Every structure is written in structure tokens, then in C-alpha cells.
Structure 1
Amino acid sequence: MQSVAEVLAQLGGCATYAQLAAVISRRALARAVQNGEVVRLTRGVYGHPQLSADRSTALAYAGVLSHTSAALAWRLPLRVSPRKPHVTLPTHRKARVGPPAVLHWTDLPATDLRRGLTSLERTVVDCARILPFGQALAVGDAALASGKLTSEELQAAAAGICGRGRANALAVAAAVDARSGSFLESILRSLLLAAGIYDFEPQVLVTTPGRLARVDLGHRRAQIALEAEGYAYHGDSVKFAADCRRYDDLVSAGWLVLRFTYRQVLHDPDWVVATVRAALAQRGVHKDWS
């Protein structure tokens, strides 16, 4: 006779009592729960103990992980993790009593139900419906950079939704760029786009007297480089020296370099935008329309 854990594994890690009772005894199930071989997710639903908390919650509702919870599963960057898992259920399915979760309803394709989470394009669109533009753009940039999604697929997914958050989803789909190098860089770029500053490109290569230098965001015409500086940027003295040389090479090549920290980008965006505008004006670019 198969063990409860083996039966659960064959059923994808989750099963109802009726499914289990068809192949094992009630006493065997009770013993497996007591021994920790099986976890009771909610009334009449059992799961494998190695399932993640988010996945267990989605299974408890017979739904799929979605929105920012799906973003975590796809390993996309978030500013903060959701306090409660986001779970989407098929339209017209009543919610069971289950663990704390944020529930949503929509028509789910069979592939999402089999996978247990929304598709990559749907995940980006759903994040854009609940996150600010900058944070949603960071999710979209990373999705494109993974090579598993194209901008055309994302634009089609955004165009296919309606209701709350559609405008933000369309804006994100139009602005995503696979070249973005980090979450902070995407947020910085989002500030510029929201302010009508369009000509800064991610990861621009600049020819300097020393070597080729890559900058986070570069304005080729004005020769302005923007650097998004995370907390753990320099690492050690060798990296610090290399960064100083790179900065000097850029300046000697005629580039103006502006460096913005995580705190400045996230907590003082008006100053960041004003500083970039002032730099553009200094270089004779008073309006930055592409």
C-alpha cells in the first residue's frame, strides 16, 4: 500500500480527503497528519509538508499564486514582500475557509492551474494593477531580462485587461526595457519617465580615454550619466578604486555623472528629478522629448 506522502506526490503535492480516502484508510491519514508526514491545509484538504507557505495557501483555496506572490515565485524584484499571499481563483468559484490571503477572481487558463501560479505576463500585469508605476516597472524590466517574456507579449496581456489598474499596466508595458540592470535603476528610470524625461537609456556604453565604461542610465546627446547606487556598492578597496577610475574616465571624456542613492531615489524623488532637470538645462537640453 502506498504511503500518504507518496499519494500526495502523485497528485501534485495536494489532495482532498475524498481523493485520499479512495486509496488509503482514514486511520492511515490521521496517523500521517499526527506524524507530520502530511499537513492539513484547510478542512478536507491536505498537502505535503515541504510545500512553501504561499503555495500551501493557494492550494488550500484551490487557486493559484498571483500578483506580488507570483512575482516572488518567478523571482522578480519587489520593494517589500506581501504580508499575505495573493491567490487568484477561477471565476465563479466560491472561496473555501482557509489561511489569511488576498483573494482575486478571474478566468484562469489551464496552464496556470497546472503550474499553480499565473503566467509571467499575467503576473507583471497584475503587479501593475496594485503597485505604483516604478515598482511595477522594476517587475516588468526583470521579467523581460529573464528572456521568458517579450514586450509584445506583455503589451498584448495589458491590452486584454479592463477595470482598475489598466492604465498603469498599459504604461508599464509600453516602458519596460530588458536592459535595466537593477531594481533601483528601474525605479530611477520610472521617475524620469513620469516627469516627461525620455532620452535616458539603460546600460549605455561610453568610450572613454581609459576603456569602455557602462553607465546605469545615459543621455547620449547631453552626455549625462546617472548612477543608481545601492547600499553594498563598493564591496572592497579594489572595487572602490576601479569605480573611482571609471568615474574619472567618464568625466575626462566630457560626461557629467550624477550618483543617486537608494534613499534619495525612494524617499526624495522630487529632488532627484529636479537635479536631473538642472543638469539637462546646464547642457542646453531644456525639454527632453524623444
Structure 2
Amino acid sequence: MASVVEVLVRLGGWSTAAELVQLTSRRALADAVRRGDVERLTRGTYGLPGLTKDVATAIAHDGVLSHLSAAEVWRLPLLDSPAKPHITLPTNRNARSGPPAVLHWADLSRTEVRKRRTSLERTVLDCARILPFGEALAVADAALATGRLTLDELAAAVLAMRGPGRPNALQVAAAATRLPDSFLESMLRSLLITAGVEGFEPQVVVELGGVRVRVDLGHRVALVALEAEGYEFHGSAVKFAADCRRYDDLVAAGWLVLRFTYQQVIGDPEWVVATVRSAVAQRIGVPTNG
């Protein structure tokens, strides 16, 4: 017979007392708790020591991690971590006392209840309900990039949405793509979409003398390339030299390369948009006032 710890590992780190007793025994559960191998999380629920605070909070409220908290579990990028975990409860359940949390209510699937987190699709929709467009787009782009969610599935789910946040979710679904390489790239693209700056495509491949190089956002007509530069983008002297050569090759081939940092995209979006507008206008005569 498997030990209580082995059963909990197989079940994802937590389980009800009834299930543990059925799979092991009442005495085995009591012994595991006494030894400190297992912790009592709440009435009738036990888990392995060291469960994350957010999971423990979800169990305490008898709900599931959702919205930004579920996005973190799914390893989707966020601008900021939530100050309190987001927990969704079944629609027919009242709130109970427990650790501080942001509570929501929705119909939950058995899988979501079992795993104590919302599905990837629901997580993207929930984030689109409460996050600004750019941050929600970054979450959707990253979810599509995992291959576990398709654009058709996302579009269908958004069309079926009702309630607050649906307009933002519709805009997110219309713009989302699996191509962006980073959170910052998605945020940069969202600024252009919101400002009505058209013509830029994500991850454009440029042929340079038989060598294929990729730019974060490329305008094929104006030959303007936008690069979203994160904190540790270059990584090493060799990578830095290779990137500099790539930029120089692009310029020599007639491309204008604009590089934007995290601080600029997040902290000075108006300047970023104005700079891109001006660059495109100089190339193809698009009015800078849009």
C-alpha cells in the first residue's frame, strides 16, 4: 500500500481526509500528521508541508486559484504579482472566513476543482476581464505560445462570454497571436494597436544577403523595425556583439531600427508611440497625427 505522502504527491499535494483514508488508512493518516509529513490545511483537508501560500488560501476558502493567481501558476507573464490571491468559488457557495483573498464566483469544472486552478482558457478570459488591454494581450499571447490553447478556441470562448470585461476580451482575442517572443514585445504591440498605428507585424523575418534575421515588430512597407529590449536581453558579450551586427546589417539593408526598453514601454508609452509615428511618417508620409 502506498504511503500517505506518496498518495498526496500523486494527487497534486493535497486531498480530502476521506480520499486519503480510502487510499491508505485512518491510522496511516494520523501517523503522517503526527510525524509532520502531512499538514491539516482546513477541516477535512490535508496536504504536504510547504504548499504555496496561494494554494493553501484556495483550499482554505474551498475555491480555486483564478485570474492573476492562476496566470502565475500557468507561468503567464504579468506586469505585477497580485497583492492578494484571486480565488474563484462555485456560484452556489457562500464565502467563508479564511486568509485575505480577492473572491470571485463562477461555475467550475471538476478538473478545475481537483487541480485548484482555473483552466488555461478560463484564466486568459478572467485576466481579460480585469487587466488593461496591453497586460491582458500579453497573457493571451503567452497562453497561445504554449500550444495548449488555439486562437480559434480563444475566439469562441470570448464570443460566448457575458458580463464585465467582454469588450476588452473581444479586443484581446482579435489581436492575440502566438508569435511574440516576450511580455515586453506584447506590451509594445498593444501600444501601437491602441494608438491606431498600423502596419507592424510581430516576429517579421528579413532576408539579409542570404541570412534570415528576425525582428520583434516589423513594418514591411516603411522598413521600420521595433525591438523590445528587456533587462537581460543580451546576456553576454558574444550575444551583444551578434545583436549589434544584426542591427547594423538591418540598417545597411535600408531598415530603420528603433529599440525600446522596459522603462520606456511601461513608463513613457506616449513618447514610444510618438517616436514610432514620426519614424513611419518620415519613411512613407503617414501623417503623424494618425
TM, length-normalised to structure 1 = 0.89
CA distance in 2, matches of 1:70, 1:205: 34
CA distance in 1, matches of 2:18, 2:114: 20
Structure 1 CA distance for aligned equivalents of residues 8 and 207 of structure 2: 58
The correspondence of residues 20-99 of structure 1 with structure 2, limited to 5 A, is: 23-24=25-26, 29=30, 32-99=32-99
How far has the Cα of 1:128 moved from its partner? 1.0
- Residue 266 of structure 1 pairs with residue 266 of structure 2: yes
Distance 2:52 2:270 in 1: 40
**C-alpha distance in structure 2 between counterparts of 1:155 and 1:161, whole Å:** 10
Equivalent position amino acid for 2:26 in 1: I
Tell me if the contact between 1:42 and 1:98 (Cα under 8 Å) persists in the aligned partners.
no
Offset of residue 115 of structure 1: 2.9
Contact 1:209 1:249 (8 Å CA) reproduced: no
**What are the residue-to-residue correspondences of 1:58-207 with 2, within 5 Å?**
58-207=58-207
Partners of 1:214 and 1:159 lie apart in 2 by 33
Q: Distance in 1 between matches of 2:20 and 2:213?
A: 61
Whole-angstrom CA distance in 2 between matches of 1:9 and 1:179: 35
Structure 1 moving runs of 4+ over 6 Å: none
The percentage of aligned residue pairs carrying the same residue is 64
Aligned length: 286
Following superposition, the deviation at residue 55 of structure 1 comes to: 2.0
8 Å CA contact retained: 1:210, 1:249:
no
Query: Do the aligned partners of 1:209 and 1:252 also contact (CA within 8 Å) in 2?
Result: no
> Aligned-residue CA RMSD in angstroms?
2.4
Mapped to 2, the partners of 1:109 and 1:242 lie a distance apart of: 48
Deviation at 1:78, TM superposition (A): 1.2
Query: What per-residue deviation string (whole Å, max 9, x for no partner) do you get for residues 161-214 of structure 1?
Result: 222211111111111011101000000000000001132111101122472221
Distance change >3 Å, CA 149–CA 7, structure 1 → 2: closer
Residues 184 and 262 in structure 1, CA contact (< 8 A), matched pair in contact too: yes
Q: Structure 1 residue 2: deviation in Å?
A: 7.5
How far 1:114 sits from its partner (Å)? 2.8
Residue by residue over 1:210-267, the C-alpha shift from the partner in whole angstroms, topping out at 9 and shown as x without a partner, is 7222110000011100000111122222222211211111111111111101100000
C-alpha deviation, 1:16, in angstroms: 4.4
Q: What per-residue deviation string (whole Å, max 9, x for no partner) do you get for residues 81-115 of structure 1?
A: 22222111111112332222221110112232233
* Offset, 1:13: 3.8
Q: Where do 5+ consecutive residues of structure 2 fail to align? A: none
Secondary structure, counterpart of 1:207 in structure 2: strand
C-alpha contact (below 8 Å) 2:129/2:164 kept by paired residues: yes
Q: CA deviation at 1:118?
A: 1.2
Q: CA deviation at 1:287?
A: 5.9
> In the TM superposition, what is the alpha-carbon distance from 1:66 to its structure 2 partner?
0.9
Query: Aligned residue for 1:224?
Result: 224
2:132 aligned partner, one-letter code: P
Under a length normalisation based on structure 2, what TM-score does the superposition of the two structures give?
Answer: 0.89
The structure-2 alpha-carbon separation of the partners of 1:4 and 1:99, relative to structure 1 and needing over 3 Å to count, comes to: farther
Stretches of structure 1 that go unaligned for 5 or more consecutive residues are none
CA contact (8 A) 1:74 1:120 kept: yes
Q: Provide the C-alpha distance between the structure 1 equivalents of 2:44 and 2:142, rounded to a whole number of angstroms.
A: 38
